[in-house]
Structure 1
Amino acid sequence: MKKTAHRRAFRVRYRAMSSSPAHDSPRLLALLAALAALGPLSVDMYLPAMPGMMRAFDTDIAHMHLTASAYLWGFAIFHLACGPLADRFGRRPVLIGGTLLFIVASLGCAQSTGVLELAYYRFVQGIGACVGPTLARTIARDVYGPTRAARALSLIAMLMALAPAVAPGLGGVMLRFVPWPSVFLFLAGYAVVIAVLVFRYLPETLPLRQSLHPLAIARNYGELIVHPFFLAVSIAGALVYAGLLAYLTASGFVFIDMLGVPLPWFGLIFLTSVVGYMSGSALSARLASHHRSETVMFAGSSIAVASTVIMLAAYWLLPQSVLALVLPMTLYALALGLVMPHAMAIALRPFAHIAGTASALLGFVQMGLAALVTAMVGELLVDTPLPLILCMLGASALGLVLASWVQWRGAPVEGLPATD
């Protein structure tokens, strides 16, 4: 009865907030996309600077990849605290606090004088950045419910894809005129704008406050960890996402150092992937109204495996061709646009009461696996992109196995068990 009263009060309070500009659906989706874009911007903008930073710090590829994996580990680990904090204190305070931490860390990155110092600040930057994507997913689940969340998340992903479309090219252009610290100064400025918008326009959407008692947090995480569909869907989506992150973090060395792509043209390489991701996200939003999320996720996982097989074959035939990597990656990005929104919607569907914690654990799994795959690629990548392609193929194939199991069994809806 008490939970019902709290939820009824939440609905009344949220209707009262409908006069807020951010509550208008397109504006809310745009703001959530801008929040979620904090993550990919932090990765993509400094990609063209990595080869030059490697020379400036007098280090190697493996150590530069450490700055990427450190960011991903900070991003992953803080999820475990971000979710419970958001379920206890609300979405807005955690968003604002995390964004302010991101600003401080970005300024620290800009003044770093060594690769290990940069890795430390990147770790802290990852902690601050994780609140944007994590709580954007959570707010979408709060507002749109268990069934409409897949479509909302697909539209957010489509809008968010503008970040990787712009970021590498913008970073490359900036590096023609200003040194690499300017990239992190730009990220700090973007975060300042985000913090102001959240403070001014985003309403609180927390439906029911959860306890921060360690036993309560452990019980909530325990409920998620023993849920087979939550784990299967989270890992399946994370493996496909890890392939993309591995490609992104290796791209500066692969295209600039190995294949000789000029720095001003580097950003154009990502346009095909962005078009693929936006197309996949748009298709995902349309399919959400007519097909089960399990079916769409399985289809996307199948396309991801097919694209990596094509990439491997194209590389063997044309080892020095840029298009042999770029064109199959367009198809892979389309597959990711299909997989991720529906994987998130399936994973969060049964957990309205702990949506923040569920979104946090989902993000931890996603970024933790991405960090592992990225570090592996960094260790193996020397003078050929073959280790990258093989890692992407292995990750997407394992993701397809899990997606097949979810499709076969049928994931539960809120309040109902899975079908046998």
Structure 2
Amino acid sequence: MTNPGLPDLVRSPTSPGRRAQRTVAGVPLRLLLVLGALSAFGPISMDLYLPALPRLADALGTSASASQLTMTSCMVGLALGQLVTGPVTDAYGRRTPVLVGLAVFAAASLLCALSTDILVLVALRFIQGAAGGAAIVIARAAVRDRYDTEAAAQVFSLLVVVTAVAPVVAPIVGGQLLRWTTWPGLFNALAVIGVLLLALTARSLPESLPVGARTSGGRTALRSHAAILLRDGDFLGFTAVLALGCGILFAYIIMSPFVLQGAYELDAQTFAVVFAVNSAGLLAVGRWGAILVARRGAAATLRRGLVIGGVGSAALLVAVASGAGLVVLLPILFLTVSSVSLVMPTATALGLAHHGDRAGTAGGVMGLAQFGLSGAIVPLVSINGTNPVLMALTMTGSGTLALLVGTLLLARRRRTEKSR
């Protein structure tokens, strides 16, 4: 359901002198692509240079765990960037902050390419992530500006499909670029992507938050919004489910280069293909999720995703512990990772359901939990190195906790709805 009081971004006008826009589920295709690209900033930032992580460690004379910190600092930056930018967009609108964030992202990417010290690179990756966080939280808020819960879940599911293009393409491109360049060249590519997306966003993303709907009152309003969010058990619960569900994905993203290229001896190009196949699973399941939400609702779709993720991650641990080979391991990994496409959009939509007038702040809090939790957990558990059992344990812990919290939360929600 669209909000009639806001500018029309979701219909396809056919007024005189204008050509009808192509739409997907009622959303203009160009807008959907822009929002998807903004949502994909995290995967783009991390996945393009995933095949180069071992080479980066060798080139800078550092350890695998230290090179993983470049991934962690980016995720922490993405988390804090969303937390800071969210309230800003509630007060000043969505468009200007995202343009500034994209410009800073491109500049930080160029500086990353020039880095010769791992600590400098870690710091620049934090800045890069913080700038990219603006894009992620604004894409999320722009959807909530226009849609209620069930419709928002469908649109978020479509964005997962668009977002999945990034991890499908990025590691393949990164692996192929490594044939002709070294790891700094991949950061130059990220800078180019940032500039192109800046131009596309400036042209195709109109303001979605009218002046009259913006927050006033400065810090007082921010404290009020924060207090409302912290008192909302459903919001906190779905935020926890989102963060834990994404923990499966981030553990895989950060650890799999070392596990698959190290313990299972895949080369960079083969790893990129495996990563792309799993990303294609995210894409396919995300599209199925949009259909499932339309038929069964967001809660039922979330429940299904949590069960698949919990059971899949447990099966992955059993397979790794028993010494099963890649023939067994890769299909289970595919299923487990793909389940995140059912969890992310539905948990986000359900968490934002009652916070349309503070969507930026709420989205920032969700982003902080989503990226901050995984950004902290993965390096802590892999501080002494990464191996297949450790990756499987981390994914299983995230999947099991997400299933437990989500089951309790959805059961309470169902009882509340029946009592009304």
TM-score normalised according to structure 1 size = 0.92
How far apart in 2 are the matches of 1:147 and 1:391?
Answer: 31
CA distance in 2, matches of 1:25, 1:167: 25
Q: Which one-letter code corresponds to 1:178 in the other structure?
A: T
Q: Does 1:219 align with 2:224?
A: yes
1:318 CA displacement: 3.0
Please, which of 90, 108, 113 is the counterpart of residue 87 of structure 1? 90
Match of 1:342, as an amino acid?
A: T
Distance 1:362 1:146 in 2: 16
Deviations along 1:106-161, whole A, 9 cap, x unmatched? 11110010110110000001101112221111111112333311111101111110
The partner residue of 2:302 within 286, 297, 304 is 297
- For residues 419 and 118 of structure 1, do their structure 2 counterparts lie closer, same or farther at Cα, with a shift above 3 Å needed? farther
Q: Which amino acid aligns with 1:357?
A: T
Residues in 2 aligned to 1:22 and 1:211: alpha-carbon distance in whole angstroms: 36
Would you say 1:48 and 2:22 are equivalent positions? no
Structure 1 residues 408 and 380, CA gap change in structure 2 (3 angstroms): farther
Q: Does the 8 Å CA contact 1:87/1:357 hold for their aligned counterparts?
A: yes
Deviation at 1:349, TM superposition (A): 0.9
Separation in structure 2 between the aligned mates of residue 241 and residue 325 of structure 1, nearest angstrom: 20
**Alpha-carbon shift at residue 363 of structure 1 (Å):** 0.7
Structure 1 residues 263, 85: closer, same or farther in 2, change over 3 A?
same
The structural deviation recorded for 1:33 is 0.7
Indicate the residue corresponding to 2:285 in structure 1: 280
Q: Structure 1 vs Structure 2: percent identity of aligned residues? A: 31
1:10 aligns with 2:23: no
Per-residue CA deviation, residues 51-84 of structure 1 (Å, 9 max, x unaligned), is 0011111111221121111111111112221111
For the residue of structure 2 that corresponds to 1:288, the secondary structure is helix
Answer whether contact 1:72 1:367 (CA < 8 A) is retained: yes
**Pair 1:169 & 2:165 matched:** no
Cα separation, 2, equivalents of 1:83 and 1:419: 34
CA–CA distance in 2 between the matches of 1:257 and 1:396? 24
CA distance in 1, matches of 2:288, 2:417: 26
CA distance in 2, matches of 1:53, 1:317: 32
| Counterpart for residue 369 of structure 1 | 373
Equivalent-residue separation in structure 1 for 2:137 and 2:45 (angstroms):
15
- Size of the aligned set, in residue pairs, is 408
> Secondary structure, in 3 states, of the residue corresponding to 2:115?
coil
- Aligned partner of 1:315 in structure 2 is 320
Unpaired segments of 5 or more residues in structure 2? none
The alpha-carbon deviation at position 261 of structure 1 amounts to 0.6
Match of 1:390 in 2: 393
> Is structure 2 residue 355 aligned with structure 1 residue 351?
yes
For residue 209 of structure 2, give the secondary structure of its aligned residue in structure 1. Answer: coil
Q: What amino acid is aligned across from residue 376 of structure 2 in structure 1?
A: L
Cross-structure match for 2:268: 263
Structure 1 segments unaligned to the other structure (5+ residues): 1-6
- Name the residue aligned to 1:338: 342
Q: 1:381–1:388: 8 Å Cα contact kept in structure 2? A: no
Deviates more, 1:371-380 or 1:235-244: 371-380
What TM-score does the superposition give when structure 2 sets the normalisation length? 0.92
Instruction: Determine the C-alpha separation between the residues in 1 that align with 2:11 and 2:335.
Output: 41
Change (3 A) 1:143 1:22: farther
Q: CA deviation at 1:351?
A: 0.8
